[in-house]
Amino acid sequence: MCSTSSVNGTRKTVATYRLVFSPEARTDLVELYDYIADQAGRSRAMAYLERVERFCSEFTDFPLRGTRRDGLRSGLRTIGFERRITIAFHVGADLVTIDRVLYGGRDVDRMFDGD
């Protein structure tokens, strides 16, 4: 999918990607919600998850960010969020897949060991 934007009278085509969360990433988000809700309450947990999801939604316009981690899996990228989360994802022709949402220093290498 593409959209056209105009900057200073110059038209430019920008690719727009779809975004999906893998089942593992969805589980990560549920576990994160439960943890934060236990520690700080449901409203704080929901607000935090909304920020994470809003951040991830920005990949639809600018997906090629973060650090490539081809040594773990071909095409894998990781990026940090608010110094607490590592988001692991990969980019296809028109799709960004969030593979994992790892909170609090969980080991990305171990999560993708054996892939």
List, for residues 17-33, the tens digit of each pLDDT value.
999 999 999 999 999 99
Residue 101: domain span:
13-111
How confident is residue 110, by pLDDT bands cut at 50, 70 and 90?
Answer: low
Q: Which residue has the tokens 């980019």?
A: 91
pLDDT of residue 104: 78
User: Which CATH number is 102's domain given?
Assistant: 3.30.2310.20
Mean pLDDT, the chain, as a whole number?
Answer: 87
Strand pairing class (95-103; 18-21): parallel
Tell me the C-alpha distance between 102 and 25, whole Å.
8
1-5, 11-15, 47-51: which has the minimum mean pLDDT?
1-5
80 in a structural domain:
yes
Of all residues in the chain, the percent with pLDDT exceeding 70 is 77
4 in a structural domain:
no
pLDDT of residue 51: 97
Residue 13 has pLDDT above 60, yes or no: no
3 in a structural domain:
no
Tell me the mean pLDDT in the region 78-106: 92
5 in a structural domain:
no
Q: Which residue has the tokens 């988001």?
A: 87
How confident is residue 34, by pLDDT bands cut at 50, 70 and 90?
Answer: very high
